[in-house]
Structure formats: C-alpha cells, structure tokens
C-alpha cells in the first residue's frame, strides 16, 4: 500500500504493519481535532483489517506529540456547563480508548518530546520504544489544568500512585532513561536506531498469532480492574475463543511435530 499523507499524518500499510506517523514537525506534532480523529479512524481500520497485524505510532522531527493543539480554539464565547466534559469524552479520551481497544498490538516509537495528551498517547500503547532524546512531560500542571486524556488512569497502573503524583504534581520533563527505569517504556535506543528497532519489533508482532495477542491484550488491560474470579473467568473464556483459531491449531501442531509455527493471523 502506498504512503498516504492526509491532514498532517503519513500512513502506510506494509508487511502486515500499519504505520501511522504524525507529520507536523513545526509544532512537535501537536494534534488538532481533525488529526486526532484521523488517528482514531486508522486504529479502527487496523482492528477491522485482517491483513493488518500490528500498528506503529511515531512522529517526525523533534517531537513524538506535544499534545492537543490549542491554538485553534475559539476565543471568548460563553462556556456552558458540560461542554468541557463532553469535549474530553469525544476527543482526548476517545483517542486513548482507541489505542487501548485496538485489536492489534500497538507499538509507540517515541522519537522526541511526548507531552500532555502526547505522553498519554504513547503510554496507552502496548509496547513503547523511546529514542535517547525522547522526553515525557505531564505538562498539565504548568497550565493549571487537571491531567486528562486518561493520564490519571494510565500512570498509576504503570508506576504506582506515588510516582504518578510526583510526575503530575511537578510537571518535570522525564528523560528516556528515567522513563525506562520507572517502567514507562520497554526499551531506550539511540536516536538513529529507533526506526529500525521499531520495524523489527513490529515485524515480530505481525508474525505472531494475531487473535491470541488481541485476547492477551484484552486480558492484561482488564486485569487491574478485576477481582481474581472475574479475571480467571475471562482467561478461560479467552482461551476457549482462541482455540477456535487457525493459529492456535498451527501452534499446537507445530509443537507436536517439532517445527516452527507459521501464523497467518486467522
């Protein structure tokens, strides 16, 4: 599939991987409502397309994503109670939910600054690679705002409540190495190796048992909100469903016959 560039996003599907690149380097890839909605749509398309087996999110230039682009907001005008909550539900929260709910594994290749909603976009991904120059910033407190875009949901689950509060209360920039130490990213690589490393990880994901990965993602994402009985029941149901897939049969046959499985995502 050829590379398409629409409204500041480059998109390409190649070798089973949907590659989504935010391409507004002059504003560190800040998201307009149109760009945000385009990312949501691309994630939905990836879920529905059997030929897509993994997704990579990244950016161009010095930024991964600087968060929401607020420069286009309406100046003045009366704000009606409920407007802000509705805007968040339909905007930033819908974007983060699209990543969490995507039926394909989503890999963030964080090439630079990830701030505010941009940081949460990265942290919602299933795997996070970070370039050495990457920085994560909970910028909301600097603006006198409450963290949104799922931040108060995501961060405590990744680093615990105390660390999450430290990041959100102070809004200090967190370098890639410190982010890895806290468990926010899977691996830090030299800037020049980020794209190649992301390609290798994405290729491994795309060669995997796609439905099993989707069910595993669902189980893990739900695990911290469920009691043991609920989690065990969900696990049993997921395995029951997964056993109907061709990839599960291929994996079991390959194990029995001592050969490497070839998964097709079916």
Task: Give the tens place of pLDDT for each residue, 207-263.
Answer: 999 999 999 999 999 999 999 999 999 999 999 999 999 999 999 999 999 999 999
- CA proximity to 18, closest of 90, 96, 102: 102
Of 31-35, 69-73, 224-228, the range with the lowest mean pLDDT is 69-73
In this predicted structure, what is the pLDDT of residue 6? 65
Q: For residue range 113-139, what is the model confidence (pLDDT) as tens digits?
A: 999 999 999 999 999 999 999 999 999
Largest interatomic CA distance in the chain: 70
* Side-chain-facing half-sphere of 105: CA atoms under 13 Å: 26
List phi, psi (to 5°) of 147: -60, 135
Alpha-carbon 34 to chain mean position: 18
**Is a pLDDT exceeding 60 seen at residue 38?**
yes
- The whole-chain average pLDDT of the chain stands at 94
- Average confidence (pLDDT) over 12-38: 97
Dist CA 9 CA 227 (whole Å): 40
Structure-token match 């108060």, residue found: 152
**b/e per residue 79-90 (b: at least 16 CB within 10 A):** eeeeeeeeeeee
131 and 111 Cβ atoms separated by less than 8 Å: yes
Query: Reduced to 3 states, what is the DSSP secondary structure of residue 149?
Result: coil
The backbone region for 59, taken as left when phi is positive above 0, alpha when psi lies in -120 to 50, beta otherwise, is beta
């Amino acid at each position: 599939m050829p590379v398409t560039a629409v409204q500041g996003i480059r998109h390409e599907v190649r070798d089973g991987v949907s590659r989504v690149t935010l391409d507004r380097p002059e504003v560190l890839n800040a998201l307009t409502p149109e760009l945000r909605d385009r990312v949501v749509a691309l994630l939905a398309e990836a879920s529905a397309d059997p030929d897509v087996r993994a997704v990579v999110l990244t950016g161009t230039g010095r930024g991964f994503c600087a968060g929401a682009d607020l420069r286009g907001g309406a100046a003045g005008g009366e704000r009606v109670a409920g407007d802000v909550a509705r805007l968040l539900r339909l905007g930033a929260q819908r974007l983060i939910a699209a990543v969490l709910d995507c039926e394909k594994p989503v890999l963030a290749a964080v090439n630079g600054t990830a701030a505010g909603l941009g940081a949460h976009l990265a942290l919602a991904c299933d795997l996070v690679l970070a370039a050495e120059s990457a920085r994560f910033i909970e910028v909301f407190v600097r603006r006198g705002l409450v963290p949104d875009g799922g931040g108060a949901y995501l961060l405590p689950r990744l680093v615990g409540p105390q660390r999450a509060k430290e990041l959100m209360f102070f809004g200090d920039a967190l370098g890639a190495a410190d982010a890895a130490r806290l468990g926010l990213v899977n691996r830090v690589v030299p800037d020049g190796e980020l794209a190649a490393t992301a390609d290798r990880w994405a290729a491994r994901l795309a060669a995997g048992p796609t439905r099993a990965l989707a069910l595993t993602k669902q189980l893990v994402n739900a695990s911290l909100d469920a009691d043991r009985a609920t989690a065990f029941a969900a696990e049993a149901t997921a395995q029951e469903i997964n056993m109907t897939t061709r990839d599960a049969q291929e994996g079991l046959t390959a194990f029995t016959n001592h050969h490497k499985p070839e998964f097709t995502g079916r």
